[in-house]
A and B are shown apart, each in its own frame.
Chain A
Amino acid sequence: MLIALADGAFWPWWLGGLALASVAIGFLLLLRRQFGVSSGYTRLVSVLENPEEEKASKAFASMDMGDLEALLLAATAEASGRSVDELQAQDDASDPGMFVEAPRVVERVSASAYAMLFGGILIGAAIAAVTHGEFAIHTGMGADYEALFGDGWVSYLPLIIGGICVGAGTRMGGGCTSGHGLSGCSRFQVPSLVNTTLFFGTGVVVSLLLDWMVGA
C-alpha cells in the first residue's frame, strides 16, 4: 500500500478524484467511449421491454456494408418503380454519384457489455468491503438514514420514490453523475454543466429541507 490510511477510513478527496478520473480516461483509452452509467439502464430496460430489438440491432451492426447498400438499392427501386439496373446505371454515369459513401455506423454498446459493467461495479464494491473487513448483510441503510426516515415501512418510501426519480430524471436529462457530471463537465459541455448544477443544487435543497423537517 502506497498510502497509509487509518483503518476503515474513506479515501481523501484527491485519491478519490484520481480514481474516478482514471475510470473516465480508461473508457477513452480502452474503449474510445464516453463513460456513462445511466445509458446502461436505458439499454437494459429496453432489452427487457423488447428482446427482439436487441437481436435486430446486433444483426444490423454486424451487417456487411455491401449487403446493406444492395438492400437499400432494392428498396429504393421498389419505392420509385424503377429497376435496380437502371438506378445503378444512373449512379455510374453521374459524378459524384447518387449514392454517397455510407457513414461509419457508431455501434451501440450491447446490453451484455453493460451487464458486465454493472456486475463489475457490484464485484468491485464487494471486494472493497471484504478486504476491509466491512462486508455484512445489512438490512437497513445505516444510522444516518434511520435518523431521517426511521426503520419502519415508511423508510422504504424514500428509496422507492427516490429511485423512480433517479431513473426517470437521468433518462430525461440524458445522463447522470458519470455521463453529465464527470464526462460532460470535464469537457466543458454546457448542457452537462447545467444538468450537473441542477442535480447538485436540488440535492442540496432537498437535503437541507429534510434536516429542517426532522429538526436536526
Chain B
Amino acid sequence: MNGKGTHLKFAGLGILLGYSLSRIGFADYGEVHRMFTFADTRLFFTFCAAVVASALGFFVFRRMTEGWGKKRFHPGIIPGGAIFGLGWALSGACPAIVLVQLGEGKILALTTLLAIMLGNWLYGRIHRRFFRWETGSCGI
C-alpha cells in the first residue's frame, strides 16, 4: 500500500486536483465569496456537477466500493461542519484550496496553512481531553 507506486499515484492525483482547482477558480477569494453570496453560481454548480458525476462513477464501479461501509453519524458532524463553514467563509480556504493558493504564489496562504494545522492539532487535544466518541473516519 505504501510503496513507491502508491506514492506516485498520490502525487499524480494531487497534480490533477491542484491543476483543476486552480483553473476552476476555487482558490480565488472573490470567486468563493461570490459563490457563498449567490452573486455567481458557477462554483456551486461545479461542485454539484462533481457530486453527480462522482455518484455515476461510484454506481458504475459499485462492486469496488462494497467493503467501504457507511459513514458514521457522530456528535462532531454538525458542530464540525458549522465551524468549518465559518472558517472557509473567513479565510477563503478549505484544506485542499490553501495548497492551491500557495502553488499559485499567494504566499499569505502560508498563514492559513499554519493556522489549519494548529486548529487540527488543537481539536485533537480537545477531543482526547473532553470527548469520547469515535469519528470512524480519520483516525483521531
Name A residues whose Cβ lies closer than 8 Å to a Cβ of B: 10-14, 16-32, 34-46, 48-49, 58, 61, 107-110, 112-114, 116-129, 132, 134-145, 148, 156, 158-192, 194-204, 206-208, 210-211
Considering only CB atoms, which chain B residue lies closest to A10 in the complex?
A: B25
- Bound complex: CA of A145 vs CA of B140, how far in Å? 33
Given contacts A129-B105, A162-B91, A182-B50, contact A42 B82 (CB under 8 A): no
The residues of B that contact A185 with a CB separation of less than 8 Å are: 51, 55
Q: Are A116 and B7 in contact (CB under 8 A)?
A: yes
Q: Are B55 and A39 in contact (CB under 8 A)?
A: no
The residues of B that contact A158 with a CB separation of less than 8 Å are: 90-91
Given contacts A37-B96, A166-B87, contact A191 B71 (CB under 8 A): yes
Considering only CB atoms, which chain B residue lies closest to A149 in the complex?
A: B90
Q: Are A190 and B73 in contact (CB under 8 A)?
A: yes
- Per DSSP, are chain B's interface residues mostly helix, strand or loop, or mixed? helix
The residues of A that contact B82 with a CB separation of less than 8 Å are: 169, 198-199, 202
- Bound complex: CA of A164 vs CA of B90, how far in Å? 11
The residues of B that contact A197 with a CB separation of less than 8 Å are: 81
Q: Are B124 and A42 in contact (CB under 8 A)?
A: yes
- Bound complex: CA of A159 vs CA of B112, how far in Å? 5
- Per DSSP, are chain A's interface residues mostly helix, strand or loop, or mixed? helix
Least CB distance from A25 to B in Å reads: 4
Name B residues whose Cβ lies closer than 8 Å to a Cβ of A: 1-2, 6-25, 27-31, 33-34, 36-38, 42-43, 45-58, 61, 64-65, 68, 70-74, 76-109, 111-124, 126-127, 135-140
Q: Are B95 and A41 in contact (CB under 8 A)?
A: yes
The residues of B that contact A58 with a CB separation of less than 8 Å are: 2
Considering only CB atoms, which chain B residue lies closest to A123 in the complex?
A: B15
Q: Are A39 and B118 in contact (CB under 8 A)?
A: no
Interface centre among B38, B78, B116 (most CB of A within 10 A): B116
Q: Are B58 and A28 in contact (CB under 8 A)?
A: yes
- Bound complex: CA of A143 vs CA of B29, how far in Å? 9
The residues of A that contact B109 with a CB separation of less than 8 Å are: 141, 159
Q: Are B16 and A22 in contact (CB under 8 A)?
A: yes
Least CB distance from B102 to A in Å reads: 6
